[in-house]
Amino acid sequence: MPVKAETKLKEILIRPEAAQILQEYGVPCLNCPLGEGEIPYLTLGQVAEFYGLDLEGLLQDLNQLESGENKKLIIYCDGGARGNPGPAALGVAIYRPCGELIREISKFLGEKTNNQAEYLALIEALKQARELGGKDLQIILDSQLVVRQLKGEYRIRNHQLQQLAQKVKELEQNFTKVTFEHRPREENRHADTLVNQALNMIK
Protein backbone atom coordinates (compact mmCIF):
# COMPACT_ATOMS: atom_id res chain seq x y z
CA MET A 1 0.00 0.00 0.00
CA PRO A 2 1.62 3.32 -1.07
CA VAL A 3 2.65 5.84 1.56
CA LYS A 4 0.90 9.22 1.16
CA ALA A 5 1.07 12.61 2.87
CA GLU A 6 -2.04 11.71 4.84
CA THR A 7 -0.66 8.36 6.03
CA LYS A 8 -0.37 8.30 9.82
CA LEU A 9 3.10 7.78 11.24
CA LYS A 10 1.98 4.81 13.33
CA GLU A 11 1.31 2.91 10.08
CA ILE A 12 4.79 3.71 8.78
CA LEU A 13 6.73 2.94 11.96
CA ILE A 14 5.66 -0.71 11.86
CA ARG A 15 8.71 -1.26 9.63
CA PRO A 16 12.11 -0.60 11.28
CA GLU A 17 13.56 0.33 7.88
CA ALA A 18 10.94 3.08 7.51
CA ALA A 19 11.80 4.43 10.96
CA GLN A 20 15.44 4.50 9.86
CA ILE A 21 14.57 6.58 6.78
CA LEU A 22 12.67 9.05 8.95
CA GLN A 23 15.66 9.33 11.29
CA GLU A 24 17.97 9.98 8.31
CA TYR A 25 15.69 12.85 7.30
CA GLY A 26 16.04 14.30 10.79
CA VAL A 27 12.92 13.00 12.52
CA PRO A 28 13.79 11.57 15.95
CA CYS A 29 10.60 9.53 15.65
CA LEU A 30 9.00 8.92 19.04
CA ASN A 31 11.60 10.88 20.97
CA CYS A 32 10.67 14.38 19.82
CA PRO A 33 9.12 17.67 21.02
CA LEU A 34 5.69 16.60 19.81
CA GLY A 35 5.51 14.02 22.57
CA GLU A 36 5.60 10.24 22.51
CA GLY A 37 1.84 9.94 22.78
CA GLU A 38 1.04 12.36 19.97
CA ILE A 39 3.45 11.85 17.09
CA PRO A 40 2.32 8.36 15.94
CA TYR A 41 -1.13 9.78 15.23
CA LEU A 42 0.13 12.65 13.08
CA THR A 43 0.21 12.31 9.31
CA LEU A 44 3.45 12.22 7.39
CA GLY A 45 2.56 15.59 5.89
CA GLN A 46 2.16 17.14 9.34
CA VAL A 47 5.49 15.74 10.51
CA ALA A 48 7.24 16.96 7.33
CA GLU A 49 5.82 20.45 7.87
CA PHE A 50 6.82 20.49 11.56
CA TYR A 51 10.43 19.54 10.80
CA GLY A 52 10.71 21.39 7.48
CA LEU A 53 11.36 18.20 5.51
CA ASP A 54 11.32 17.51 1.79
CA LEU A 55 7.95 15.75 1.71
CA GLU A 56 8.24 14.72 -1.93
CA GLY A 57 11.65 13.13 -1.41
CA LEU A 58 10.52 11.44 1.80
CA LEU A 59 7.48 9.96 0.09
CA GLN A 60 9.65 8.70 -2.76
CA ASP A 61 12.11 7.01 -0.39
CA LEU A 62 9.38 5.42 1.72
CA ASN A 63 7.54 4.11 -1.32
CA GLN A 64 10.77 2.70 -2.78
CA LEU A 65 11.18 0.89 0.51
CA GLU A 66 7.69 -0.55 0.16
CA SER A 67 8.64 -1.93 -3.24
CA GLY A 68 11.90 -3.35 -1.87
CA GLU A 69 14.13 -1.03 -3.91
CA ASN A 70 15.66 1.15 -1.23
CA LYS A 71 17.41 -1.13 1.22
CA LYS A 72 20.86 0.42 1.28
CA LEU A 73 23.71 -1.21 3.17
CA ILE A 74 27.21 0.11 3.75
CA ILE A 75 29.67 -2.76 3.95
CA TYR A 76 33.30 -2.75 5.05
CA CYS A 77 35.17 -5.89 4.09
CA ASP A 78 38.74 -7.07 4.29
CA GLY A 79 40.74 -10.24 3.77
CA GLY A 80 44.31 -10.98 4.71
CA ALA A 81 46.91 -13.69 5.07
CA ARG A 82 49.93 -14.01 7.34
CA GLY A 83 52.33 -15.13 4.68
CA ASN A 84 51.46 -15.17 1.00
CA PRO A 85 50.08 -17.78 0.92
CA GLY A 86 49.54 -18.42 4.60
CA PRO A 87 46.83 -18.63 7.26
CA ALA A 88 44.07 -16.30 6.07
CA ALA A 89 40.84 -14.81 7.31
CA LEU A 90 38.10 -12.41 6.32
CA GLY A 91 36.23 -9.66 8.11
CA VAL A 92 32.91 -8.08 7.14
CA ALA A 93 31.04 -5.29 8.94
CA ILE A 94 27.60 -4.29 7.63
CA TYR A 95 25.96 -1.00 8.57
CA ARG A 96 22.74 0.81 7.84
CA PRO A 97 23.21 4.31 6.36
CA CYS A 98 22.36 5.80 9.77
CA GLY A 99 25.50 4.16 11.18
CA GLU A 100 23.84 1.23 12.96
CA LEU A 101 25.96 -1.93 12.87
CA ILE A 102 23.68 -4.81 11.92
CA ARG A 103 26.10 -7.67 11.27
CA GLU A 104 29.77 -8.55 11.55
CA ILE A 105 31.59 -11.65 10.35
CA SER A 106 35.04 -12.89 11.34
CA LYS A 107 36.02 -16.13 9.63
CA PHE A 108 39.17 -18.22 9.23
CA LEU A 109 39.78 -19.33 5.63
CA GLY A 110 42.67 -21.77 5.89
CA GLU A 111 45.73 -21.20 3.71
CA LYS A 112 45.14 -18.56 1.05
CA THR A 113 46.93 -15.69 -0.65
CA ASN A 114 46.13 -12.11 0.32
CA ASN A 115 44.22 -11.52 -2.91
CA GLN A 116 42.22 -14.73 -2.54
CA ALA A 117 41.27 -13.66 0.99
CA GLU A 118 40.18 -10.23 -0.30
CA TYR A 119 37.89 -11.80 -2.90
CA LEU A 120 36.50 -14.33 -0.43
CA ALA A 121 35.70 -11.49 1.97
CA LEU A 122 33.81 -9.74 -0.80
CA ILE A 123 31.89 -12.90 -1.67
CA GLU A 124 30.96 -13.35 1.99
CA ALA A 125 29.83 -9.71 2.16
CA LEU A 126 27.54 -10.15 -0.85
CA LYS A 127 26.05 -13.34 0.58
CA GLN A 128 25.36 -11.65 3.90
CA ALA A 129 23.82 -8.63 2.17
CA ARG A 130 21.55 -10.91 0.16
CA GLU A 131 20.44 -12.63 3.36
CA LEU A 132 19.67 -9.24 4.92
CA GLY A 133 17.57 -8.22 1.93
CA GLY A 134 19.85 -5.40 0.83
CA LYS A 135 19.33 -3.91 -2.61
CA ASP A 136 21.69 -0.93 -2.82
CA LEU A 137 25.20 -1.78 -1.63
CA GLN A 138 28.14 0.50 -0.96
CA ILE A 139 31.11 -1.83 -0.46
CA ILE A 140 34.33 -0.44 0.97
CA LEU A 141 37.66 -2.26 0.63
CA ASP A 142 41.25 -1.25 1.32
CA SER A 143 42.57 -3.31 -1.61
CA GLN A 144 42.99 -0.90 -4.51
CA LEU A 145 43.97 -3.82 -6.76
CA VAL A 146 40.69 -5.70 -6.20
CA VAL A 147 38.59 -2.55 -6.66
CA ARG A 148 40.32 -1.75 -9.96
CA GLN A 149 39.98 -5.33 -11.14
CA LEU A 150 36.26 -5.32 -10.37
CA LYS A 151 35.84 -2.04 -12.24
CA GLY A 152 37.62 -3.49 -15.25
CA GLU A 153 40.59 -1.12 -14.96
CA TYR A 154 43.05 -3.99 -14.36
CA ARG A 155 43.05 -7.42 -15.96
CA ILE A 156 42.81 -10.49 -13.73
CA ARG A 157 45.50 -12.87 -14.87
CA ASN A 158 45.39 -15.48 -12.10
CA HIS A 159 42.94 -18.28 -12.89
CA GLN A 160 41.77 -18.75 -9.29
CA LEU A 161 41.13 -15.02 -8.92
CA GLN A 162 39.23 -15.05 -12.22
CA GLN A 163 36.91 -17.70 -10.79
CA LEU A 164 36.40 -15.72 -7.59
CA ALA A 165 35.73 -12.53 -9.55
CA GLN A 166 33.17 -14.39 -11.63
CA LYS A 167 31.41 -15.47 -8.42
CA VAL A 168 31.32 -11.83 -7.33
CA LYS A 169 29.69 -10.85 -10.64
CA GLU A 170 27.09 -13.60 -10.25
CA LEU A 171 26.22 -12.46 -6.72
CA GLU A 172 25.93 -8.84 -7.89
CA GLN A 173 22.87 -9.86 -9.91
CA ASN A 174 20.90 -10.12 -6.64
CA PHE A 175 21.05 -6.35 -6.14
CA THR A 176 19.80 -3.26 -7.93
CA LYS A 177 23.04 -1.35 -7.31
CA VAL A 178 26.53 -2.29 -6.11
CA THR A 179 29.42 0.14 -5.86
CA PHE A 180 33.00 -0.72 -4.87
CA GLU A 181 35.11 1.92 -3.17
CA HIS A 182 38.77 1.89 -2.22
CA ARG A 183 39.58 3.46 1.15
CA PRO A 184 42.84 3.59 3.13
CA ARG A 185 43.30 0.83 5.71
CA GLU A 186 42.70 3.24 8.58
CA GLU A 187 39.19 3.86 7.22
CA ASN A 188 38.55 0.12 7.07
CA ARG A 189 39.65 -0.56 10.63
CA HIS A 190 36.57 -2.50 11.73
CA ALA A 191 36.90 -5.13 9.00
CA ASP A 192 40.68 -5.32 9.51
CA THR A 193 40.13 -5.96 13.23
CA LEU A 194 37.73 -8.80 12.40
CA VAL A 195 40.38 -10.39 10.16
CA ASN A 196 42.97 -10.28 12.92
CA GLN A 197 40.44 -11.54 15.43
CA ALA A 198 40.01 -14.74 13.40
CA LEU A 199 43.76 -15.13 12.78
CA ASN A 200 44.57 -14.65 16.45
CA MET A 201 42.37 -17.64 17.29
CA ILE A 202 44.78 -19.98 15.48
CA LYS A 203 46.94 -21.97 17.85
* Per-residue pLDDT reduced to its tens digit, 52-70: 888 888 888 888 765 554 5
Q: Residue range 8-26: average pLDDT?
A: 77
Q: How many domains, in total, are found in the chain?
A: 2
Inside any domain, residue 146: yes
**pLDDT 10s digits, 160-176:** 999 999 999 999 999 99
Region of poorest pLDDT, from 9-13, 105-109, 140-144: 9-13
Q: CA neighbours within 13 Å on the CB side: how many for 133? A: 9
> Distance (Å, rounded) from C-alpha 186 to C-alpha 78?
12
Cis geometry, peptide bond prior to residue 85 (ω within 30 degrees of 0)? yes
99 and 152 co-located in one domain:
yes
Please give the share of the chain, as a percent, with pLDDT higher than 90.
58
Instruction: Assign 33 a pLDDT band (cuts: 50, 70, 90).
Output: very low
Taking the C-alpha atoms of residue 83 and residue 112, their distance in angstroms, rounded to an integer, is 9
For residues 174 and 77, membership in a common domain is answered with: yes
Quick check: 22 pLDDT over 70?
A: yes
Determine the Cα–Cα distance for residues 168 and 60; give it in Å rounded to an integer. Answer: 30
pLDDT digits (tens, 9 = 90+) for 121-162: 999 999 999 988 888 999 999 999 999 999 999 999 999 999
Q: What is the CATH number of the domain that holds 107?
A: 3.30.420.10
pLDDT tier at 29, thresholds 50, 70, 90: low
Q: Is the pTM of this model over 0.85?
A: no
Is residue 95 domain-resident? yes
Query: Is 173 found in the same domain as 119?
Result: yes
Q: Ramachandran region of residue 68, left (φ > 0), alpha (ψ -120 to 50) or beta?
A: left
Q: In terms of domains, do 172 and 103 share one?
A: yes
pLDDT reading at 35 higher than 60: no
Whether residue 190 sits in one domain with residue 150: yes
Last residue of a domain, one of 33, 66, 99: 66
Rounded average pLDDT over 173-184: 95
Q: Which domain holds residue 54?
A: 9-66
Q: Please tell me which residue, 49 or 113, carries the higher pLDDT value.
A: 113
Give the pLDDT of residue 28.
66
Same-domain status, 50 and 14? yes
Mean pLDDT, range 23-52, rounded to an integer: 71
pLDDT for the residue 26: 79
In a domain, 194, yes or no: yes
Separation CA 82–CA 60 (nearest Å): 47
Q: Residue 167 domain-assigned?
A: yes
Residues 37 and 108 in one domain: no
Residue 2 lies in a domain: no
16 is a domain residue: yes
